[in-house]
A and B are shown apart, each in its own frame.
Chain A
Amino acid sequence: MQKKKKWNPSKKRELRAAYLFTIPSFVGFLVFVFIPIIWVIIISFQKYNVFTTATTFVGWDNYRQILTNSRSLVALKNTLWYTVLCALGNTGMGLILAVLVDDVLPHKLSVFFRSIYFFPSLVGLTFVAIIWQAFFQTDAGVINYYLTRIGIAKIGWLSSQTFSKISVLILDIWKNMGMSMLLILAGLQNVDRGIIEAAEIDGASAFQRFLKVIIPLASPQIFFVMIMNVTGALRIYESISVLTNGGPGDSSRSLVMLIAEKGFTSFDYGAASALSVLLLILISIVTFIQFVGSRKWVHYE
């Protein structure tokens, strides 16, 4: 039975089918994903001359340039700011919403609220950013209107260096918390009901049950959602581009905005690629944390 297994005709047919099925996607993957990753790393060590269209190898020059350039350092700082706050905000709001819609109310009502909270996640960021831009206007904006009604002075949401990032953050959380809710909810619903009921019988209050039982049990899922939000926030772009276009000054500019600007406005491919590699490193760190984290949690399940 064992011998010559590789050569029996049905195995051969399977092999042929296997490669027939996987080659199209793998070739596409190589050309449009894998090779670009390698190539970006190569370009980051080159200098491109717009006039002569010649490329020369320049070693670490591009990296030295971006790491000493105040604009890219500001963009890096802003990106980390967005990453931490968007990830915490989205995951936190997602968790709160998930608990609220986890069948505390009658099932139909819960499903109704789930759909509403989730809907913004499906709508294109540019479309909703146009609406929020109107909301954030200093004099004609809806938000400042309600703030002045309760006695708070008008805020330059898009025109002040302090608030430009906060406006982007608000839009991001409003847009993405529903997705986090949905994913955390899936984790909560996988939690064994029996354990929660046992805690209830033992006299744990709703808040205690939430903090001591539900959160620890759903923590692998919450961790996954957090990672997803971190990687999402690292490439933040559209919302800033519509709301503030990076300004005022560079106060809300992100790494990806700078990549697009360097690469496709000033055609400094080398610097743009070095910034891309910087982003790649950040994403790799997060991916590594996810890998280690999910391994750790496998034992608990």
Chain B
Amino acid sequence: MNKKITLFGKKIKISTILLTIIMLILAFLVIAPFLWVFSASLRPYSEATSLPPKWLPPRFSQWNLKYFQKLFSKSIPFFTFMFNSLKMSTVITLGMVFHGTLAGYAYAKFEFPGKKIMFALMMVAMMVPVQVTIVALFKIMTILKVTNTSWAVTLPSIFGASCPGLAGAFGIFMMRQFFLSIPREMNEAAAIDGAGPIRTFITIMVPMAKSMIASLAIIVFTFSWNDYFTTFIMINKTERLSLPVGILSIKQPYATGDNVVFAAVVLSIIPVLLVFLIGQKWIIKSMTHVGVKG
């Protein structure tokens, strides 16, 4: 396996080439569904669903944009769904970043009665997903009179319900880990300069945590953009649905003879793809960070 051959003027191990081929095949299996849906969304229905499957989109001059145009028409509330998703995800992200940064800092840097029990309680409850509590959560939303509004989704999600497996305290945990890594001397120096704890937090700590806050925001935004369950249970009005739930309502009436839903899937995935391409380093780093420390 350690034999070498010459390729592009470089000596390369045969095992390296074999490995690359295996990984390319795996990579194709991973991205095949995305290739297919993109190609299918640009073809007439009969062509898109005919076999053998067409993995690559047609030539640019032959793109069939009929289904994308349909999404813009009034008959399908696709952009209403997209706007709802954008609105809900933004509110959830802002809310979680705000309280997560505050509480994460306090749990990392302050000593106060009740700290241990409060934090422990949240960490334990972090394991309980929203699927367990949904019946009671629904009742609470009824008491707060917010069912069928986006608040029924955003309020619980701000406190972690939409982050899979990390209900309750996801943002707090992540920010606490970060602030724990900042040396205590930093706070002491600020205190000697006469800065109070709140001023130290705003003027020194938040700027230092900028990239961590950005990572948290990206993760929370992506998860809430994709969240299905909470919206599905809480909202029962088509015009208030988010994209993941709403897209299924597009699917039903057009199930036969129409692949407008594939165009909808493409447009729903593109924002995530853009966020990933731009923030990929941050995402991967912070996911790993949470994983390792978790």
Contact = CB atoms under 8 A, between A and B. Distances in A.
A276 B22 contact: no
A63 to B, nearest CB: 15
Contacts of B292: 183, 186-187, 190, 221
B30 A273 contact: no
B112 A18 contact: yes
Contacts of A179: 287
Nearest to A117: B30
A235 B228 CA distance: 13
A21 B229 contact: no
A33 B168 contact: yes
Interface string A264-297: 1000010011001101100110110000000000
B71 interface: no
Interface in A222-274: 224-225, 228, 231-232, 235, 237-238, 242, 256, 259-260, 263-264, 269, 272-273
Interface string B18-31: 01101100110111
A131 interface: yes
A114 interface: yes
A29 to B, nearest CB: 6
A25 to B, nearest CB: 4
B174 interface: no
B136 A123 contact: no
A31 B23 contact: no
A237 B107 CA distance: 34
B102 interface: yes
A119 interface: yes
A220 to B, nearest CB: 10
A33 B125 contact: yes
A60 interface: no
Contacts of B20: 105, 109
B183 interface: no
Interface stretch (B60-68, B114-122, B207-215): B114-122
A237 B37 contact: no
A122 B272 contact: yes
Nearest to B164: A232
A130 B243 CA distance: 13
Interface in B12-69: 16, 19-20, 22-23, 26-27, 29-31, 33-34, 36-37, 40, 49, 51-53
B8 interface: no
B291 A186 contact: yes
Interface in A84-142: 97, 100-101, 104-105, 109, 113-120, 122-128, 130-132, 134-135, 140, 142
Interface string B160-200: 11001101110010000000000000000001000011100
A21 B284 contact: no
Contacts of A178: 30
Nearest to B95: A28
A273 B159 contact: no
B78 interface: no
A49 B172 CA distance: 40
B240 interface: no
A14 B292 CA distance: 31
A191 B127 CA distance: 28
Interface in A40-56: 40, 43
Given A28-B159, A39-B136, A127-B268, A120 B30 contact: yes
Contacts of B29: 174
Given A35-B136, A122-B276, A280-B132, A17 B197 contact: yes
B82 interface: no
Given A116-B27, A190-B292, A24 B247 contact: no
B222 interface: yes
A67 B275 CA distance: 45
B226 A283 contact: no
B112 A276 contact: no
Contact of B19 (A105, A130, A228): A105
25 contacts: A17-B196, A21-B105, A21-B201, A22-B103, A22-B118, A24-B98, A33-B128, A37-B128, A40-B132, A100-B26, A101-B23, A113-B27, A122-B275, A123-B269, A124-B225, A124-B268, A130-B261, A131-B34, A135-B33, A140-B51, A179-B287, A183-B288, A183-B292, A228-B294, A259-B135
What 9 A-B pairs come out closest when comparing CB atoms?
A124-B226, A36-B133, A39-B136, A21-B106, A183-B291, A18-B110, A36-B136, A17-B197, A18-B112
Interface of B: 16, 19-20, 22-23, 26-27, 29-31, 33-34, 36-37, 40, 49, 51-53, 98-100, 102-103, 105-107, 110-112, 115, 118, 121-122, 124-125, 127-129, 131-140, 155-156, 158-161, 164-165, 167-169, 172, 191, 196-198, 201, 222, 225-229, 232-233, 243-245, 247-248, 251, 261-262, 265, 268-269, 272-273, 275-276, 280, 283-284, 287-288, 291-292, 294
